[in-house]
A = this chain, B = another copy of it.
Amino acid sequence: MVRRKCIGSATLLGIASIFGFAKYPKEKLLVHHVFFWLKNPQSQADQQQLIAGLKTLTTIPTIRQIHLGVLASTEKRDVVDTSWDVSELMFFDDEAGQKTYQDHPIHQAFVKNNSHLWAKVLVYDSLDV
């Protein structure tokens, strides 16, 4: 027998908050943002290979959410770094989750198979306040 849940609109909003839709999330997550500078930034093939490699990371269980990005066409201002090529933004529950990801065989295989593509990597790890 399948037990079904009966919930109202307020509860649905509550669920939305739990799942991170709230504009100002109550959950405190670890934000891991990585920027890659390609050796051959003009090569679409290299960019696509790196993005394909990054997509293999999504199966690592401690990643709560992942966004893969390229440079946006926002206004060019002095404070905006537009020199990078590909970005990877991940959320983890905590620093232990991020460590598990770092040490995971899928992540290590990604680095081994793709590190020839990039000239520079820069990482920002922040903790929600």
Interface residues of A (CB under 8 A from B): 2, 4-9, 12, 15-16, 19-25, 29-33, 35, 51, 55, 58, 63-75, 77, 79-82, 84, 87, 89, 95, 98-99, 102, 121-129
Contact = CB atoms under 8 A, between A and B. Distances in A.
A67 B8 contact: no
B124 A31 contact: no
A129 B51 contact: yes
Given A31-B72, A33-B33, 14 more contacts: A5-B9, A6-B6, A6-B7, A19-B20, A19-B21, A23-B64, A23-B65, A23-B66, A30-B72, A33-B89, A70-B126, A72-B95, A72-B126, A77-B123
Count identical subunits in the complex: 2
B87 A74 contact: no
Nearest to A60: B23
Contact of A4 (B8, B33, B66): B8
Given A122-B81, A125-B72, A23 B95 contact: no
A128 B87 CA distance: 9
Contacts of A33: 33, 89, 124
